[in-house]
Chains A and B, each alone.
Chain A
Amino acid sequence: MSVVWKDLRRLVLGVVAGGLLILLPFYAGEYTVTTFVRIIYFGFLALSVGMLVGQAGMISLTQTAFFGLAGYVIGLLGAERGMPFPWRDLIAIAAVLVMALLFGLVAMRTHKIVFLMITLAFGQICWAFAQQNTSLLHGWAGIRGIRPPAIAGINFNRTSNFYWASLLIFALGILVLRLLARSSFGLALNGIRENPRRMAALGYPVYWIRVAAFLIAAIYAGIGGLLATYNTGIITPTTIQLSRTIWVLLMVILGGSTYFWGPVVGTAVAVWLDVLLSEGTERYNTVIGVIFVFVVLFLPGGILSISDSLRDGRGFPFWRRLYARKNSG
């Protein structure tokens, strides 16, 4: 009985939240809608990083490169050579997959901190190439004038239309990721995160499962990149620079990397924080840095861990942390 009740409540909450999101353009200002679009495309990127960090225990700093690659491909094929939708987009995702496979085959031979550094280096290679290649990628300037396609007569240049399309794709993305996390593949990934050695002894092809996870994560980053590029209309090397990568990692940790909704919540908070802070102060990087330090030291589980520890009666994690320190010291 209570299970049914719980499910019902969840359903109601879900419908209301979904409804609020769908109706957003009708009651919120255009800028709010635009910001939600940003949350969605950065959300894809954060899901990509979050899936690797949370589900598979791999801290990858290459994901923004896939994000950028997708943008560059539609820029090159669409804006510059006039290839129509959906071919350029499919080719973009294919390109992301090929690059992810190449990187994945090498990077998956390593673990932990070495993996982190190698993916960092991969990201930097891509950035350096994008910045220095002027003949194809136009270096610093990047590619301009990328417009979303008109499908079935719907003009996606309109913010609200673009928002609905993004929201639909995002909902699908979340759904698929949810299924994935609950599938035997998702469980196998968790197993690898927890104990790769045992997974190997059980007969799982650990290496290939990790590669597959990397490919899936890359697709998410790629989709985010497509949406982002259509939204801003340009793609430049700054899109894939290190500070962006770090920013995304911050989102994931801020929300809580081990929670399914963590990356999304983190993105929403971080994007909004960005908007608010850049208006309020020129020193927002300092503010973000301080928040970052705070989260790492006192709220390592992210925002979503607050409700968890409150529910468990462990108090607000920050105080718990301080208290533990005092006791052990």
Chain B
Amino acid sequence: METKLLILILNGLTQAAIFFVLGSGLTLAFGLMRVINLSHGAFYLLGGYIGYSVVHATGNWPLALIAGGLSIALLGFLFERTMLFRVRGGDLPETLLTIALSMIIADVSLAIWGGHPLTLNVPAYLNPRVTIFGITYPGFRYLLMGISVFIALSLWLILYQTKLGAAVRAGVDDRETVSALGVNIDAIYSLVFVLSALLVGIAGVLGGSYLQLSPGGDTTILTYSLVIIILGGMGSLLGTVVSSLILGQLLSFGLAYAPQYSYFLIFVPMAIVLAIRPQGLFGREL
């Protein structure tokens, strides 16, 4: 039973890892641009699919990770530069545009990759069966946690230790003043959106390797992402870490002890937090 508990915690951490990669991109874009990117789920799916095609063609998983991430970053860049910037500042048009994009992406993906569930083959050297303290747990999941921690640290470093990060935070505080001081805030907007897209593209490849990709996955992923950032507080990196950890464990233990209601369960902390603190655990008042 001890083993079971440990595995459940490890599962929760794995879930948290993928949740964090998902949520961080969304929360980053929201923090600076106040854009709720509802095509986040579709980006995830597409990133995963592109990764799948790369693995299928080359057998090179790390290449797929990079390709999936970069292609979504490129898509994000194009979308931001050609459409999103035209409606900047309008909640409704921004939201609607991202919805529309997600419909198109999901449908085009269905046309290209079909409706069968696909999964990226992780090469054996990345997925050894690791046994620690008598618990056998897939090595890829440790890798996943590692990648997630790496991303979290990188984001923290970028945001809090670089000039770029300072510019981003200053832009969140007062975008007008920061631009009057010589910072090209529009370029930073694009950059943040691209970074957000890159992260979700990577999440797609990771998720497609650890789970699977199939039509309809986009809305599920979008819902998870929204719950993560609402719970943690929109725009807060720390909040995303904490809420990913909470939701990961909740989902893991929920599946073990009340599998029928596991999905419903993840909404419970969100509902409680919303009723008490509408801005989320670590969010700022908007």
Which A residues fall within an 8 A CB radius of B? 53, 59, 106, 109-114, 116-118, 120-121, 124-125, 128-129, 131-132, 134, 241-243, 246, 249-250, 253, 283, 285-286, 288-290, 292-293, 296-297, 300, 325
User: A106 near B275 (CB under 8 angstroms)?
Assistant: yes
Q: Does B93 contact A (CB under 8 A)?
A: yes
Q: Are B97 and A286 in contact (CB under 8 A)?
A: no
Known: A59-B95, A106-B274, A242-B223. A297 touches B286 (CB 8 A): no
State the majority secondary structure of interface residues on B.
helix
- The 8 Å CB contact of B230, one of A111, A117, A129, A286, is A117
A134 to B259, CA, bound (A): 12
Note all chain B residues with C-beta closer than 8 A to A325. 86
Pairwise interchain contact B219-A289, C-beta atoms closer than 8 A: no
* A residues in contact with B111, CB < 8 Å: 283, 286
Point out residues on B near A: beta carbons under 8 Å: 34, 36, 83, 86-87, 91-93, 95-97, 99-104, 106-108, 111, 219, 222-223, 226-227, 230, 234, 260-261, 263-264, 267, 270-271, 274-275, 278-279, 286
Shortest C-beta distance, A27 to chain B (Å), equals 36
Contact in complex: A285, B107 (CB < 8 Å): yes
Contact A253 B219 (CB under 8 A): no
User: Which residues of B lie under 8 Å from residue A300 when comparing CB positions?
Assistant: 87, 93
A283-B107 in contact given A106-B275, A117-B36 (Cβ < 8 Å): yes
| CB-CB nearest in chain A for B227 | A121
Query: Cβ of B91: which chain A residues have Cβ within 8 Å of it?
Result: 59, 112-113, 116
Q: Determine how close the nearest CB of chain B comes to the CB of A202; give it in whole angstroms.
A: 24
A167 to B100, CA, bound (A): 31
Min Cβ gap B100→A in Å is 4
CA of A114 to CA of B93 in the docked complex: distance in angstroms?
Answer: 15
Q: Is the interface of A mostly helix, strand, loop or mixed?
A: helix
Contact across chains for B96 and A129 when beta carbons are under 8 A apart: no
- Rounded to whole Å, the gap between the CB of B231 and the closest CB of chain A is 9
A121 pairs with B274, CB closer than 8 A: yes
8 Å CB contact of B103 from A53, A114, A286: A286
| B residues near A292, Cβ cutoff 8 Å | 96, 99-100, 103
Q: Which of A118, A120, A131 is the one whose CB lies under 8 Å from B278?
A: A118
In contact, A114 and B278 (Cβ under 8 angstroms): yes
Name the 6 nearest CB pairs between A and B, nearest first.
Answer: A292-B100, A289-B103, A289-B104, A285-B107, A286-B107, A125-B267
Contact A285 B264 (CB under 8 A): no
CA distance A311 to B271 in the complex (A): 48
Q: In the bound complex, what is the Cα–Cα distance between A113 and B89 (angstroms)?
A: 11
Indicate which residue in B95, B97, B227 contacts A293 across the interface (CB closer than 8 Å): B97
Q: Is the CB of A290 within 8 A of B87?
A: no
Verify B219–A241 contact, CB threshold 8 A.
Answer: yes
Beyond A132-B260, A286-B111, A292-B100, list 12 extra A-B contacts (CB 8 Å): A59-B92, A112-B91, A113-B95, A114-B286, A116-B91, A121-B271, A242-B223, A285-B104, A285-B106, A286-B104, A293-B83, A296-B100
User: Which of A117, A131, A253, A293 sits near B101, CB closer than 8 Å?
Assistant: A293
- 5 A-B pairs with CB atoms under 8 Å apart are A121-B226, A242-B222, A246-B103, A250-B96, A296-B87
Shortest CB distance B105–A (Å): 8
**B87 partner, pick from A53, A117, A289, A297, beta carbons under 8 A:** A297
Residue in chain A with minimal CB distance to B93: A296
Contact of B104 among A116, A129, A290, A297 (CB under 8 A): A290
Q: How far is the CB of B281 from chain A (nearest CB, A)?
A: 14
Q: How far is the CB of A89 from the nearest CB of chain B, in Å? A: 28
CA gap between A109 and B276 in the complex, in Å: 10
- A116 x B95 contact (CB < 8 A): yes
